[in-house]
Chain A
Amino acid sequence: MKTMAKKAAVIGFDCAIPKRLQALVAEGALPNFKKFIEDGSYMTEGYNLPTVTPPSWATICTGAYPRTHGVEDYYYYLEGESLEHKKTCQAFGSEILTAETIWDAWDKKGKKCIVVNYPMSWPSKMRNGVMVMGEGLSPAETRWQQLGNAHKEYLASESVVSSDFYPMGVQARFDDAKGWANLPAGAEEPLEAVIPITFKESMEPLKGQTWYALTWEGGDDGYDRFALCPERDFSKAFFTIGAGQWSGVVTHDFTIAADGRTEKGTFRCKLMELSDDAESFRLYITGISGFSGFTAPAEAADKLAIADQVICNDMGLVAFIHGVIDMDTVVELAQFHSDWLTAAATSTLKANPDWDLFYMHTHLVDWFYHGWLSDMDSEDAVRRERALDMERRIYQIEDRLLGNLLKTLGDDALVCLCSDHGATPMGPIFNTAEALKAAGLCHYEPKASENYWEIYEESEGYNYILDVTKSKAVPQRYMFVYVNQEGKYPGGIVKPEDYEEVRDAIIDALLDYKHPQTGKRPVLLAVRKEDAKVFGMGGAQAGDVVYALKPEYMAEHGYGLPTGVSGCGELKNVLIFKGPNVKRNFRYERPRWLADIVPTLCYMTGNPIPADAEGGPIYQIMENPDLNGTKD
């Protein structure tokens, strides 16, 4: 049947907001997205719940709703733990999925699937396929079972060396250079800084090293040349740069602390600042990118063309928050990150020309909105324009990635572009515990801590520790409240016969609560767990009450329905198809759920549907929806 596509691909852009994408396409900033939309079918109403990363990507690869695939929040509740939110861990990787993925279903039929940096994919169960680790947001990192926002990566995370104090870095200063070999010719009064560099957030902890920075006057206008060296020998310098410049990609040996083996890693540095007296300097060091350990099969790593690439996990957002780098540098890091992904994906595709299915996710847009979406709605014109300009540059990086990937995927592939959710700017904070406490359902004490940084929580009214042994109801994660059942949870106090009464009281408390700042009800809906099955939630990982907020509360996503719109943002997702048998330049305006992606890909390529898929093929975007030939 010639209308069948031979191959299928999903390229996922985390947190791409449909109306922002359309605005940037309309101004001509995104030629590849524009062409893709013109060549394909665009769904104006892409839905999923909850509007957060892990459950949504789990749906996009299983065709199942969260109640079925077992991931219902950014965080995961571990059975047997106390219900306190801080005991929950990040929900990434394939181990927690209770629904079959599309690649596992196709793999069983001998198809070759390539999965790159897909948050819910690692570890791989495929026999024929190739996977580049996705167990978090960035390639070659894991967040599964990590608390808070912790993560680990191959080989280590970003850092900074500076004359100033930075919590994430190493403080060092320049003194007279002594005992150096091969000093740069003509360098008068060269200075050295000894840097006891440590490597953090490693999948396998690395031994620290001592590096040496050297600075000298290239002319007669003060210190302006900066070299970083692994020993006091300038001929072995990793690089020489000036203020504001990036180094090239450095490849260096790193020692695994546990077994002493050596791994090669790449990194780049940018000299953010160097004063002419060398008293003040700041060198940003990207994360150290490894070459192996994150592919399945392991030998697939040999085919990755990443020798001149650096991963740049989170595009430096944490370094930006810490005041290490500026917005322009974040955009540069975003480009490096995208270059790594593009190189890893295209080299894997080229090494496996017989591929049948390609799944990939890229996270740049989500990091950007977490950092700057609220600025896009700022009343300060300078702040707003700066954020809007950065948004354009981030989407343009993704546009170039799309162009490069489409070239490699070829015209005979059925391609789906999607995001997992949108985002809305920062609104008033809703503290669920406060609403429950007001109704006498949970108990918390002000924190006795004298820690000065907690004055912020105090001033916001959130400076407390919830006591589960005195709470009938415990709020947890983004959309849940649990009935703290005796015998079921550590510290549980609600007897089985009181369960429904407490649950009703929780729902009433949430719905009756008026926000002190707005005087209005922030809760859009609050239902019993089993009622949440109607919108795809309410499985084993859901709390006893599931609630959603109005979109104007909280930020940036995860609390509201996908229909939510607030300020410059909205919570629905991007969903576009292109390829054989897909209508061109077509807009489909009824709601479609992310669960429909897998059934559509399977139906349109004649491949097996995974065991637990629940969505349906989007027949209306097909030139010929009757692929079973019943009309013939």
Chain B
Amino acid sequence: MAEKKVILLLAGEVSLDGGDAAKKFKKKAVLVNNYTAGDVAAEALRVAGAAAVAPEGIAQALEAGAALCVVKLGAPDAAALDAALAKALEAADRRTLVVLAGSNLLAFQGLGVNTKTGSTDRQAFARDVVPTLAHIADLPIPDDTTGAVLYQVLKETNLKLNEFIKLKEALARMETALQRDNREPWDKHDCA
């Protein structure tokens, strides 16, 4: 199973005020209020490791190693959307990003997403969805990508920079440990 995963739900006009799963999803999601919808599926499916699946197949696809599940819901009614979100949330663990891109709505929830802000007013387009989910989940972006990362949905603006800093710190700690184990008599000894 990939460490970081994305479930991308694509739909027509939808509402998150319906069933329990939709409410649960919305509670910790960031809604992009100023969203211009368009085709997301084509670009998403060009991401290496992406798999097109039905809601029932999400868990299995993730288990099989898919890093991005693209789930086309068509024009679901409230019950169908809720059922799909329930499947997605059930399959998601703490390192899974769930994205819902409808013709009237864009929402991010889970991995790397701000759980407190609730929404953002920044302008966003369909072409921004793939770069954003790729940025969060360390996925390769297709060569023809033109969109931008929606930094305002992230749990911290410098999400990746902070990850790099942590990795550098870990490397420095490893170097320190190795150096300490390889000291020469003239090196500073610390009696510990």
Contacts and interface: CB of A to CB of B under 8 A. Distances in A.
Contact of B191 (A366, A431, A456): A366
A371 B189 CA distance: 10
Nearest to A221: B116
A279 B93 CA distance: 13
B174 A167 contact: yes
B176 A191 contact: no
Contacts of A371: 190
Contact of A174 (B94, B176, B185, B186): B94
B48 to A, nearest CB: 25
A321 B166 contact: no
Nearest to B181: A148
Contacts of A517: none
Contacts of A85: 184-185
Contacts of A191: 94
B177 A429 contact: no
B182 interface: yes
A370 B190 contact: yes
A279 B111 CA distance: 10
Q: What is the interface residue range for chain A against chain B?
A: 35 or more
B3 to A, nearest CB: 10
Contacts of A168: 177
B177 A164 contact: no
Interface string B48-66: 0000000000000000000
Nearest to B111: A279
Contact of B189 (A149, A314, A456, A475): A149
Contacts of B104: none
B178 A166 contact: no
Contact of B182 (A165, A430, A453, A476): A453
Interface string B144-186: 0000000000010000000000100110111111111111111
A477 B185 CA distance: 6
B115 interface: yes
B176 A554 contact: no
Interface in A155-175: 164-168, 174-175
Contacts of A386: none
A322 B175 CA distance: 10
B42 interface: no
A317 B191 CA distance: 9
A308 interface: no
A370 B192 contact: yes
Given A175-B93, A314-B192, A453-B179, A430 B174 contact: no
Nearest to B166: A164
Nearest to A137: B191
A260 interface: no
A323 interface: yes
B183 A148 contact: yes
Contacts of A176: 93-94
Contacts of A452: 175
Q: What is the interface residue range for chain B against chain A?
A: 20 to 34
Contacts of A363: 191
B28 to A, nearest CB: 10
A322 B173 contact: yes
A454 B183 CA distance: 10
A107 B179 CA distance: 45
A375 B27 CA distance: 50
Contacts of B166: 164
Contacts of B178: 167, 451, 453
A78 to B, nearest CB: 16
B141 to A, nearest CB: 23
Contacts of B173: 165-167, 322-323
B177 A555 contact: no
A137 B191 CA distance: 8
A454 B192 contact: no
A555 B192 contact: no
Contacts of A370: 189-192
B175 A453 contact: yes
Interface in B99-122: 115
Interface string A242-272: 0000000000000000000000000000000
Contacts of A317: 190, 192
Contacts of B170: 164-166
Nearest to A456: B179
Contacts of B190: 149, 317, 321, 367, 370-371
A462 B180 contact: no
Given A164-B166, A191-B94, A367-B192, A476 B115 contact: no
Contact of A367 (B175, B183, B191): B191
A540 interface: no
Contact of A454 (B115, B155, B182, B191): B182
Contacts of B93: 175-176
A62 interface: no
Nearest to B175: A453
A74 B179 CA distance: 20
Interface string A517-540: 000000000000000000000000
Contacts of B176: 167, 321-323
Nearest to A429: B186
9 contacts: A85-B184, A149-B192, A277-B115, A317-B192, A318-B192, A367-B192, A451-B178, A462-B184, A554-B188
- The list of the 4 closest CB pairs from A to B, nearest first, reads A167-B177, A165-B170, A314-B192, A317-B192
Given A164-B166, A367-B190, A370-B192, 10 more contacts: A149-B190, A149-B191, A167-B176, A168-B177, A277-B115, A431-B186, A453-B178, A453-B179, A477-B185, A554-B186
Interface of B: 93-94, 115, 155, 166, 169-170, 172-192
Interface of A: 53, 74, 85, 137, 148-149, 164-168, 174-176, 191, 277, 279, 314, 317-318, 321-323, 363, 366-367, 370-371, 426, 429-432, 451-454, 456-457, 462, 475-478, 554-556, 558
